[in-house]
Amino acid sequence: MLKIGYLRFPHLGQPLNLGVIRVYKKTSGNGGLTLYLGKRDYVDHMDSVDRVDGVVKLDPKDFGDRKVFVQLACAFRYGSDDLDVMGLSFRKDIWIQHVQIYPESHKPTQSEMHETLLKKAGDNTYPFSFEIPNNLPCSVSLQPGPDDKGKSCGVDFEVKTFLAKEKCNVDEKIEKKDTARLIIRKIQYAPSQVGAGPKADICKSFMMSDKPVHLEAVMEKDIYFHGDAIPLKIKINNETNKTVKKIQVTVEQTTDIVLYSADKYTKAVYTHEFGETVDAGATYENTVSITPQLSENKEKRGLSLDGRLKDEDTNLASTTIVQQGVEKDMLGILVSYKIKINLMVAGGGLLGGLTASDVSVELPLILMHPKPTEDVSLEVEKKATERQEDNEGM
């Protein structure tokens, strides 16, 4: 009997019954190695990261003098593994760790997850564990274009078991049939403490007008969850003799690739124009609702997404939370968001729109997943189910 309960999402208020464990399984081409994991998402709690516990079932009849190793690697991928350009690698390892499980030399403290997987896999099965450092990046993938093939660029984590004579001999060729691998994700949840929302304001004067336009924008809190509507309070005091013709709200995602270059680019993930006008000498106050979503941005190549697993949906990448003292270069890809409120103020007189000008303010946006809370109050027997992953590396 294993303790399980419910995951409760605070913003939804409904528990999700977790009465069934999904077992992820991948067998090598030679049939001698079968890798088992009990989950694919590992949470970064800022001070620590969930431990990676798994097992490998062995059929050693064709191993010869080779040993069995398990490897966990965090890597930045910036090209397809299928590309071969003058022997250059399109994958850069950020962090990598190996353990030898056969002949047995790695004996981790067995966890509840180990016991479940050992029971499922049966005889001749060896456990392993990895501790993920908390200064490593979270899983992020860059959205491919319609014609792009192969694995997405980005930061990923891979658990791989393989046969080799030595652990780290670069001259030893490891055959693909002698490996089994599964991609996992390192994720972050929103902090439990929610702060006050940011505020921005500007007062801008114009030629031919002795008074300014005041623009103020305020958010209710500093963190919002993926898919939630974001209320945005906008105040305008138009003291000029001009008319505010258009109010536009844009959410921009900035991706900063810090590992191998100085690439930094910004893409709009939400844009909406509101039809209200503010006449000369008038005021405007309203709360508008905006919701940036991946479903509205499926065609934008290079957009940062939360790490994707096979046949599973994903969403816009969560905001990167950088811990104090962590070198940014280690994080691979930094993702941030901002909300831009822009007013188009039309010129008056004969020149009209030729003298139009913009008034803008920007607010930072933190976009993340809510942290589920576990209520371990119900004990039921878990019946493990298998999920065979067909694609290499997934």
Q: pTM score, two decimals?
A: 0.80
Distance CA 18, CA 376 (A): 11
More confident residue, 152 or 238: 238
pLDDT, one tens digit per residue, over 178-193 is 999 999 999 989 888 8
Residues in the chain, overall count: 394
User: What's the pLDDT score for residue 363?
Assistant: 97
Q: Which pLDDT value is given to residue 381?
A: 33
Average pLDDT, the chain: 82
- 51 pLDDT above the threshold of 90: yes
Q: What is the pLDDT of residue 385?
A: 40
Mean pLDDT, range 204-212, rounded to an integer: 83
Pairing of strands 223-225, 230-238: unpaired
CB neighbours (10 Å) of residue 34? 19
pLDDT in tens, 74-131: 998 875 554 444 444 567 888 999 999 999 888 899 999 999 999 999 999 999 999 9
Going by DSSP bridges, is the β-strand pair 243-257/264-274 parallel, antiparallel, or unpaired?
antiparallel
Query: Over the stretch 136-153, which tens digit does the pLDDT of each residue have?
Result: 989 998 888 767 666 678
Question: Nearest 5°: phi and psi at 116?
Answer: -65, -45
Three-state DSSP class for residue 374: strand
- 125-130 β-sheet, strand order: 125-130, 52-58, 33-37, 22-27, 385-388
Cα–Cα distance between 379 and 2 in angstroms, integer?
Answer: 7
Q: Which secondary-structure segment (H or E) carries 27?
A: strand 22-27
Q: Is the pLDDT of residue 318 over 80?
A: yes
Per-residue pLDDT tens digits for 367-384: 999 987 653 323 333 333
